[in-house]
């Protein structure tokens, strides 16, 4: 389709001021201008059209989100919000509203690159660390502290950041709730704000549905009704891995609260190069960035995890004789934001080890279902298994084939708050 790009002055001005690197600005602005004009010229079909952000395929570009938020924070921008959004944001993060501040996305600083760099009128430096489809770390946030008076985590969901940071995370759902009631002008670019809101509602919907379904707040029928709205989402493998990682983070939080006997430690993978003393076990580690599906796993190094569990005597002798007796419970999911309610098999829980003697012993017992070269046991997961209470029960049941837990799990009850290991 050929477009006659003859936007009025306000559109051109707005497009030219959107904060993107120069190498990307011409392509972005031309495409954005075409999309806006198309919407303005074809009002009859507007209700059936995809969102601008979907048309431009910008929903998986972290740079797009950072640039858009920086634009909204500009009290003098063409978005028609004046200082309404910036005032809300500053107050949300405990800063004095400042309409005269300097706001720039993608700024090089001593410690690397700031997603959004703000210098207030009184000289305070603020860095917004923006995470959309990736997982941030404490080290990442701490690295910025030498370059700023405050580091602000901004996440698609709170689970974009470690548990210790989640109370301070500004989420995109909060941004939706802030923007929706704001009076917008009829300026040419105000349509972008509307489409940003509608896109975020579409993109965040699966995460709300996942949380509500897995917590037992809504049933399967309601969850599937909601999912019908997500079918127009265009997702890729990174979207799926991020969705899986969010599930694991929420499950880990759930287990920490309701089944602490299944939380083994606080440490990451053992790093021998740093001479870190090997712990009895790692924490449940969530990994998103490797090839294949995201996963959640722990590595149990010793026969006894104090106060938690010990290896069953049936396997203890082989464990003592093994040169590498490390055992690994592991959870994988195979679903994404647009598919998790429609697949018969959602994932797998596995038990693995690296020692052939141990694996041979497990295989000869007849208790386990082989899967792969490392994993000596697996259990395929169904949709109902995704609910956090059910998944916690599965982890306990399958691990009990190898370990004896020192803490007796709560008796089944009808109240999730009282006992989690229900059928």
The string of DSSP codes covering 198-255 is HHHHHHHHHHHHHHHHHTTSS-HHHHHHHHGGGTT----HHHHHHHHHHHHHHHHHHH
Which pLDDT score, from 0 to 100, does residue 276 have? 55
Q: Which of 103-117, 172-186, 329-343 has the lowest mean pLDDT?
A: 172-186
Sign for the CA dihedral angle at 91, 96, 101, 103 comes to negative
* Rounded-to-10 torsion of CA 156, 157, 161, 162: -170
Q: Is residue 415 pLDDT above 90, yes or no?
A: no
Q: Which of 47-51, 58-62, 225-229 has the lowest mean pLDDT?
A: 47-51
Q: Is residue 52 pLDDT above 70, yes or no?
A: no
Q: Is residue 14 pLDDT above 50, yes or no?
A: no
Average pLDDT, the chain: 82
Contacts of 27 (CB under 8 A, 6+ apart): none
Angle, CA of 6, 79 and 54, to the nearest 5°: 70
Burial 143-182 (b: 16+ CB within 10 A, else e): bbeebbebbbbbbbbbbbbbeebbeebbbbbbbbebbeee
Q: Which residue has the higher pLDDT, 56 or 369?
A: 369
Q: Reduced to 3 states, what is the DSSP secondary structure of residue 257?
A: helix
Which pLDDT score, from 0 to 100, does residue 233 have? 77
Q: Is residue 13 pLDDT above 70, yes or no?
A: no
Q: Is residue 207 pLDDT above 80, yes or no?
A: yes
Question: For residue 292, what pLDDT band results from cuts at 50, 70 and 90?
Answer: confident
Model confidence over 311-347: pLDDT tens digits? Answer: 999 999 999 888 888 999 999 999 999 888 888 899 9
For 375-391, what is the mean pLDDT? Answer: 95
Rounded-to-integer distance, Cα 222 and Cα 298, Å: 34
Which pLDDT score, from 0 to 100, does residue 413 have? 46
Residue 287, burial from CB neighbour count under 10 angstroms (0-12, 13-18, 19+): middle
Rounded-to-integer distance, Cα 307 and Cα 138, Å: 28
Question: For residue 21, what pLDDT band results from cuts at 50, 70 and 90?
Answer: very low
Length of the chain: 423
Q: Which of 114-123, 126-135, 165-174, 317-326 has the lowest mean pLDDT?
A: 317-326
Q: Which residue has the higher pLDDT, 368 or 43?
A: 368
Question: For residue 45, what pLDDT band results from cuts at 50, 70 and 90?
Answer: very low
Asked whether 17 and 104 are in contact (CB, 8 A), the reply is no
> Phi then psi for 152, rounded to 5 degrees?
-110, 115
Which stretch, 74-83, 170-179, 182-191, has highest mean pLDDT? 170-179
Take residue 299 and report the two structure tokens written for it.
């590595």
Which stretch, 96-100, 171-175, 194-198, has highest mean pLDDT? 171-175
Which pLDDT score, from 0 to 100, does residue 376 have? 94
For 181-207, what is the mean pLDDT? Answer: 82
Question: For residue 372, what pLDDT band results from cuts at 50, 70 and 90?
Answer: confident
- Closest-CA residue to 256 (of 296, 204, 218): 296
Q: Which residue has the higher pLDDT, 371 or 125?
A: 125
Q: Is residue 12 pLDDT above 70, yes or no?
A: no
Rounded-to-integer distance, Cα 191 and Cα 198, Å: 11
Which pLDDT score, from 0 to 100, does residue 24 have? 44
Q: Which residue, chain included where needed, has tokens 């647009």?
A: 338
Radius of gyration (C-alpha) of the chain in whole angstroms:
25
Contacts of 82 (CB under 8 A, 6+ apart): 75
Angle, CA of 66, 72 and 76, to the nearest 5°: 130
Which pLDDT score, from 0 to 100, does residue 2 have? 35
Q: What is the DSSP letter of 355?
A: -
Q: Reduced to 3 states, what is the DSSP secondary structure of residue 73?
A: helix
Rounded-to-integer distance, Cα 76 and Cα 136, Å: 31
Model confidence over 233-265: pLDDT tens digits? Answer: 778 899 999 999 999 999 999 999 999 999 998
Model confidence over 81-92: pLDDT tens digits? Answer: 889 999 999 999
Question: For residue 59, what pLDDT band results from cuts at 50, 70 and 90?
Answer: low
Q: What is the DSSP letter of 281?
A: B
DSSP string, 10-63: HHHHHHHHS---TTTHHHHHHHHHHHHHHHHH-GGGGGGSPPHHHHTT-TT-HH
């Amino acid at each position: 389709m050929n477009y006659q790009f003859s936007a009025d002055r306000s559109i051109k001005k707005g497009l030219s001021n959107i904060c993107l690197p120069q190498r990307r600005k011409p392509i972005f602005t031309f495409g954005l201008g075409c999309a806006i004009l198309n919407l303005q010229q074809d009002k009859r079909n507007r209700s059936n059209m995809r969102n601008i952000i979907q048309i431009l395929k910008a929903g998986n570009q972290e740079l797009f989100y950072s640039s858009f938020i920086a634009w909204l924070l500009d009290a003098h921008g063409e978005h028609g919000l004046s200082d309404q959004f910036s005032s809300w944001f500053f107050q949300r993060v405990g800063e004095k509203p400042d309409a005269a501040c300097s706001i720039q996305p993608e700024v090089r600083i001593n410690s690397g690159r700031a997603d959004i760099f703000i210098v207030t009128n009184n000289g305070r430096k603020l860095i917004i660390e923006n995470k959309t489809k990736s997982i941030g770390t404490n080290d990442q946030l701490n690295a910025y502290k030498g370059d700023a008076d405050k580091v602000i985590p901004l996440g698609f969901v709170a689970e974009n950041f470690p548990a210790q940071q989640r109370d301070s995370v500004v989420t995109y759902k909060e941004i939706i709730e802030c923007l929706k009631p704001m009076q917008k002008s009829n300026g040419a670019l105000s349509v972008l704000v509307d489409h940003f809101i509608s896109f975020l509602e579409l993109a965040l919907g699966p995460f709300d549905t996942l949380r509500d379904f897995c917590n037992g707040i809504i049933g399967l029928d309601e969850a599937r009704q909601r999912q019908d709205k997500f079918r127009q989402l265009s997702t890729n493998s990174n979207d799926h891995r991020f969705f899986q990682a969010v599930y694991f983070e929420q499950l880990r939080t759930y287990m920490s609260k309701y089944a602490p006997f299944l939380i083994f430690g606080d440490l990451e993978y053992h790093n021998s190069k740093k001479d870190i003393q090997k712990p009895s076990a790692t924490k449940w580690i969530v990994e998103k960035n490797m090839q294949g599906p995201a996963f959640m796993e722990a590595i149990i190094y010793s026969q006894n995890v104090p106060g938690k569990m010990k290896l069953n005597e049936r396997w203890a002798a082989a464990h003592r004789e093994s040169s590498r007796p490390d055992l690994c419970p592991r959870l994988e999911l195979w679903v994404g934001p647009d598919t998790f309610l429609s697949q018969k098999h959602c994932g797998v829980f596995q038990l693995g080890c690296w020692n052939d003697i141990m694996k041979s012993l497990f295989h000869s017992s007849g208790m386990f279902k082989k899967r792969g070269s490392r994993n000596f046991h697996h259990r395929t997961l169904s949709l109902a298994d995704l609910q956090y209470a059910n998944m916690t029960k599965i982890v306990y049941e399958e691990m009990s084939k190898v370990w004896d837990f020192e803490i007796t799990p709560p008796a089944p009850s009808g109240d999730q708050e009282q006992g989690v290991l229900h059928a």
